[in-house]
Structure 1
């Protein structure tokens, strides 16, 4: 909608203004200033309904990693790709269940964010081959970094997993305490990190609905939650120096 576009475009102007403060990022500010400035639309007919509507045909986006407009567009693109594949996935694995797994570490100094993310990614690679994780059929994972009240950085992984039913209540079940111990072990830290694990539970099918269609509807919502911003725009503009250092740490 126009209001959603305008909101993202407005905060992109704010973020571009922050990049103008640092000579090393002036090129990002320049690219962001013209992001989405030229949009070409055309009429398109939906095969399923025959409905004709205006659709975006082409546009010029800046592709700066932390541009709010491009983050939003990227999120929508990955959601669309997943939704396109979802019916085939549900049909191929009709008995599969879905789980949210959020993996965190202690807040770090923003200047240590790059090293912390490197350690977290290495830990996840180690976790993939552990027996607790091996039954997982597949997953999508995103990284989010939020700003702590004290100016620290809080990096964490959001993971949506497709799992066999046994991981919810059968022989492959992993307790919350076991997830914490596993993540601590692969992180190689001396504290218990916060881990959130929960099943994505479908509602009961209504008359005429199949379990597959209800599951697909449920997973679409879960995907939208998982594939969100890597950094909230509000965190970007709240502390310019914090955001500039975030850019340095994530562009190495």
Structure 2
């Protein structure tokens, strides 16, 4: 038992931060925390022990914010209650190679819970990286392209019908002769955002459209296409032709916006560009900022409530061809999958101790709580 004051704890944390990789707390520090009681009034945050795990605070605080929005509408009170319980505690094991390794947590699985979406995207990315590593061994000459498909922004009340129409249109597209000749596998995700202000010149952080931001939605597909080498020769499809094909499959009388680009490394990057394409494809179904945008405004909240109704039980991930089994569907993802997201760079074997961190919104994140250690 150490002295009844904070000096010893603070000195150990300070020593850790100054002399040790901040992502990997030393074995001595972990032993010290596990074997001793915390003095009254002393908080040890997860972020102070493991800098890489500070992201838990960011996501969990956002989950609390979304929960409060749901709580304002009696229709969604149950979602709010589930989100309040989501990842309320995290229990970590320890090894000297990777530091703290998550071993226990409970997730709410509400579609728009930021924490759950984050854990799912980590899992999907890991699965896709593994699939890609296998595919390039068996099909080394194949290439990958990144495709984005859109259409005119529908009223938010028509979103469900629009998404169903887009899915049927996609099924028509993949049966087209030109598509089948070149594309040997694909991974497609759906994203829905608020319409952005066309007058905003900032391309990276576009502001929400002041006219349609609370009345319409911007649904679009992000697709990774695995193409035969012939795609860059006799089977090449120009951007204009992609537009024509997508418009025809949508059965519309205007040219929709389509973006098509070859996956290639960015300048100075040490990979082939696939990680960036995977990250762009397998991201949030709806950006957190779009969910909480102008949340004090009842009309803005109503947009989010209607988004929740319109997307209920819809699938936002699809795969086909040689990439058909690349990802797990939402319904097939288990709580254990969301704990161990499949990061091959991390050694998951740890000691038998479990260090507990509890989420305290009032304190801004996760704090060490030895009362629930194992």
Q: 1:154 aligns with which of 218, 225, 237?
A: 218
The equivalent residue for 2:244 is 181
- From the CA coordinates, give the structure whose radius of gyration is larger: 2
Maintained 8 Å contact 1:100/1:198 = yes
4+ residue runs over 3 A deviation:
202-206
Given the two structures, how large is their TM-score scaled by the length of structure 2?
A: 0.61
Residues 127 and 186 of structure 1 are in contact (CA less than 8 Å); yes or no, is this contact kept in structure 2? yes
- The CA deviation at 1:81 is 1.1
Shift of 1:202: 3.7
Q: State the secondary structure of the residue aligned to 2:178.
A: coil
- Return the match for 2:192 from 121, 135, 145: 145
Shift of 1:132: 1.7
Q: 2:165 matched to 1:119?
A: yes
The equivalent residue for 1:99 is 145
Given the alignment of the two structures, is residue 230 of structure 1 paired with residue 285 of structure 2, yes or no? yes
Q: 1:52 to 1:143 in 2, by over 3 A?
A: closer
User: Secondary structure in 2 aligned to 1:63?
Assistant: coil
Higher RCO (C-alpha under 8 Å, 6+ residues apart): 2
Match status 1:3 vs 2:58: no
The answer (yes or no) to whether the contact 2:264–2:274 under 8 Å persists in 1 is no
Structure 1 residues 78-135: Cα deviation after superposition (integer angstroms, max 9, x where no partner): 0011122222111011011110100001001000000000000000011111012112
- The residue that corresponds to 1:132 in the other structure is 178
Where structure 2 has 5 or more consecutive residues not aligned to the other structure, the ranges are 1-51, 196-208, 294-299, 314-374
Residue 38 (structure 1) aligned with residue 89 (structure 2):
yes
Partner secondary structure for residue 60 of structure 1: coil
Kept in 2, the 8 Å contact 1:205–1:214? The answer is no
Residue 34 of structure 1 deviates from its aligned partner by 1.2
Distance of aligned partners of 1:52 and 1:146 in 2 relative to their CA distance in 1, 3 Å threshold = closer
Q: Distance in 2 between matches of 1:38 and 1:103?
A: 40
Separation in 2 of the partners of 1:203 and 1:112?
38
Structure with the bigger percentage of helix: 1
* 1:244 maps onto 2:305 in alignment: yes
C-alpha distance in 1 between matches for 2:271 and 2:68: 44
Report if aligned partners of 2:147, 2:258 keep a CA contact under 8 Å in 1: yes
Contact 2:193 2:218 in 1 (8 A): yes
**In structure 1, how many angstroms separate the alpha carbons of the residues matched to 2:183 and 2:234?**
13
Show structure 1 runs of 5+ residues with no match. 46-50, 207-212
Of 127, 132, 140, the residue aligned with 1:86 is 132
Distance 1:222 1:121 in 2: 21
- Aligned to 1:129, what secondary structure does the other structure show? coil
| 1:57 aligns to 2:100 (yes or no) | no
In terms of mean alpha carbon deviation, does 8-17 or 152-161 score higher? Answer: 8-17
Shift of 1:57: 1.2
Q: Which moved more, 1:9-18 or 1:197-206?
A: 197-206
TM-score scaled to structure 1, two decimals?
0.89
1:209 corresponding residue in structure 2? none
C-alpha displacement of 1:72: 0.8
What is the distance in 2 between the residues matched to 1:87 and 1:164?
A: 17
Tell me, yes or no, if the aligned pair for 1:142 and 1:227 is still in contact at 8 Å: yes
Once the two structures are TM-superposed, the CA of residue 177 in structure 1 deviates from its matched residue by 1.0
